[in-house]
Amino acid sequence: MTTLFDRHRLGDLELPNRVVMAPMTRVRAAAEGLATPSMAAYYAQRATAGLIVAEGVQPSLVGQSNPGTPGLYTDAQVTSFRPITDAVHANGGRIFAQIMHGGRISHPDTTGLQPVGPSAVAAAGNVFTPTGPQPAPVPRALATAEVPEQARSYAEAARRAVDAGFDGVELHGANGYLISQFLSSNANLRTDSYGGPVRNRIRFAVEAVAATVDAVGAARTGIRLSPGGTFWDVAETDVPELYAALPAELARFDLAYVHVEATAAEEVLVGLRRGWPGTLVVNPVLPMGPKQTDRTSADHWLGLGADLISFGRAFIANPDLVERLRTGLPIAPADENTYYQGGDAGYLTYPAYQYTA
């Protein structure tokens, strides 16, 4: 039986284990979306993961969702990321950048721009801004002729990611951000070729992937999906049909992987496994839900055919998570109050397991 500690071939990479560090927003970037030395130390501490997928990185200013997040659309941002990729590689690790366009989940106080989306429909609830939570604004609906430019922004950021030393990129197609908004049936009310039936709602995701593959190659390109997920007020109709059609279209690209969250019934995800011929990464628990991924849930999904298992919050307080999973050591809890507050406390201050005599 496949275990978490078996090797796995991922594109041009040989992963020493099947543990993936999931992307997690930590809002520690400097002004102008620059990565920092603390971020380099943070990821280097966790380089024993088979693969690290770094936090969401905006591909453009209008694509920025939250304050304090890094970007990959200027030369200075590329330069700031090189110490991170160098540090991870020096520690024997592999790292992808997650390209995350926030779409309507943004605010003019964060970017100075009106957010854009598939339709002029605001998300319910508040978004994060430099002065605290504020109601999500109504986005500007993209004209049909503008949509390809937003799809290409993922590819342009991917080129910069490779220039910065990343081993590849993951397109964030989950959790209510721009790709997810196009997939949805409530944020996307379009009547052109990007809206309505499933074949149209998947078009933006496919175009973003195609552009990225053309830019950096299929072996360096993955995508994250949240089938049936409701984060940031999205809803999806025809979930089984949607997540049969999308992987079928993506299969022609021979991507590095598809990364799915456990946001739908198990049979939907198992069906996606049957329909996806390449590497499948599974995050076995609901993101930000009451449970964290553990060895039991990981083994369950390996048994159902997942190739790699992603762990999110468990990596925050356990830089040595792979060794703890391997040896059955306790998983330390993280302080939720320091998830996003900035600074090194709750970021670089969690130690490896301390053995006692």
For the record, the structure tokens of 137 come out as 């604004």
- Per DSSP, 251 falls in state G
DSSP-assigned beta bridge partners for residue 281? 259, 308
DSSP string, 213-236: HHHH-GGGEEEEE-TT--GGG---
- Predicted confidence (pLDDT) at residue 356 exceeds the cutoff of 80: no
pTM of the model: 0.96
- Any idea which residues carry the catalytic annotation? 177
Residue 42: how many other CB atoms lie within 10 Å: 23
At 9 the three-state DSSP class reads: strand
- The per-residue pLDDT for 192 is 97
Share of the chain above pLDDT 90, in %: 94
Cα separation of 325 and 322, whole Å?
A: 5
From CA 146, how far away is CA 250, in angstroms rounded?
22
Residue 17: C-alpha distances to residues 86, 163, 263, 306 (Å):
20, 26, 25, 13
Look over the chain and give the mean of its residue pLDDT values, rounded to a whole number.
Answer: 96
pLDDT band of 75, cuts 50, 70, 90: very high
pLDDT per residue as tens digits for the range 125-159:
999 999 999 999 999 999 999 999 999 999 999 99
Confidence of residue 100 (pLDDT cuts 50, 70, 90): very high
> Residue 98 pairs with which residues in a beta bridge?
56, 170
* pLDDT, tens digit, 9 for 90 and up, residues 278-330: 999 999 987 766 778 889 999 999 999 999 999 999 999 999 999 999 999 99
In this predicted structure, the answer to whether residue 112 has a pLDDT above a threshold of 80 is: yes
Predicted local distance difference test score (pLDDT) of residue 158 = 98
Q: What is the pLDDT of residue 215?
A: 98
What's the confidence (pLDDT) of residue 219? Answer: 98
Residue 16 has pLDDT above 80, yes or no: yes
Compute how many other C-beta atoms are within 10 angstroms of the C-beta atom of residue 291: 11
* pLDDT tens per residue across span 216-264: 999 999 999 999 999 999 999 899 999 999 999 999 999 999 999 999 9
Q: Please tell me the predicted confidence (pLDDT) of residue 357.
A: 60
Written as six digits, the tokens of 4 are 């978490």
- CATH superfamily of domain region 8-338: Aldolase class I (3.20.20.70)
147-163 and 75-90 helices, crossing angle to 10°: 50
Neighbours of 113 (CB within 10 A): 15
Nearest Cα to Cα of residue 3 among 301, 314, 280: 301
Q: Where are the domains of the chain?
A: 8-338
Q: Tell me how far apart the alpha carbons of residues 179 and 173 are, in angstroms, rounded to a whole number.
A: 5
Nearest to 170 by CA among 79, 288, 263, 51: 51
